Amino acid sequence: MPASREVVFVDGVRTPFGRSGPKGLYAETRADDMVVRVIRELMRRNPGLPPERVDEVAIAATTQIGDQGLTIGRSAAVLAGLPKSVPGYAIDRMCAGAMTAVTTVAGGISFGAYDVAIAGGVEHMGRHPMGEGVDPNPRFLSERLVDGSALIMGMTAENLHDRYPSITKDRADAFAVASQEKAAKAYADGRIQPDLVPMAARKAAEGWGLATADEAPRPGTTMDALRALKTPFRPHGRVTAGNASGINDGATGCVVAAREVADELGLPARMRLVSYAFAGVDPEVMGVGPIPSTERALRLAGLSIDDIGLFEINEAFAVQVLAFLEHFGIADDDPRVNPYGGAIAFGHPLASSGVRLMIQLSREFAERPDVRYGITTMCVGMGMGGTVIWENLA
């Protein structure tokens, strides 16, 4: 049995994220073409990586039908022009799809089955709304395995507010305003653009255009504007379109490799995978998922929460990030948390988001050689959490 090897994050890119729907950036763009664009850009940016040295392509999608079906890791690899000898497959862990793609190929690299792999995710929620074509087993409700709210993410966020009465709507709105402000500053400072791949997008009425920036951010968002929004999931509720991520389209991808192989090929090693963990929680409060997954990942790494210098937490809902921070005794406005802003501003194309977190963390690591460890973590539909701990190699 081979000795385990260190796994490093070499590079990551993503398409700009679009708003879903007939007016969105990618209304008439295929999901698989977005993945192809990401794979081709990863190969272009890393000329030291011979295409035949890619051992696996793992691509996640939550709704694996239509242009997100046909085992998209393999089909996108062929479409991207990788040699036919390069295999690929599809993954589904809802929001943590791309994160699971990375941890799965990382396990293969550590074991010695692969040297280099491409992992990522795509979600075209305009073409494939969450839950399209699914048929939940009636036993979930008839046997009361879950509450009816478990299948509606916004209702699980309202349930989380119930569980944490200290997390008021004002606190959630304030967190959302800060996310928009940080994202606007990150764009102004040129922190986001280096890892965006421009995506050609066509609309019948307008012809061809080039998507070069995220469509979802709303710079200048104010508390007054957020206070005025409706609470669609509950009368007099606390969850709104303003303090939650949107419905979005986008794709992400990254190259991960064994550390000695990255060195051999002259590829950058931006961060090292230290540990990862997934955990299950009650589906009705899926937003608490990152708490047990982070506790487990820390335990496996022999670290404590105080060792973590940067946090990239997926902002599916403001309340879910705040519950995590409250549990670990971290302030709502701690500068270590989502320094470039998060999904409330950028958007959350379900299965793709895990690698966006990694891309931003690696960029933050490069600016902060004083920080040794960071984490990427997210809640997952059906009651789960996922966490990856990374070491800064800058």
What is the set of active-site residues?
Answer: 95, 348, 379
Q: Which residues are within 8 A (CB) of 350 and not within 5 positions of it... i.e. 6 or more apart?
A: 62, 94, 95, 97, 121, 123, 125, 130
Distance, CA of 165 to CA of 135 (rounded, Å): 34
Burial group, residue 240, by CB count within 10 angstroms (0-12, 13-18, 19+):
buried
* Token pair 């940067």 in the structure block, residue: 310
How many residues can be counted in the chain? 394
Q: State CA 368 to chain mean position distance.
A: 22
Q: Which amino acid is at 15?
A: T
Identify which of 349, 326, 318, 340 has the alpha carbon closest to the alpha carbon of residue 223. 318
Distance, CA of 297 to CA of 327 (rounded, Å): 16
Q: Which amino acid is at 1?
A: M
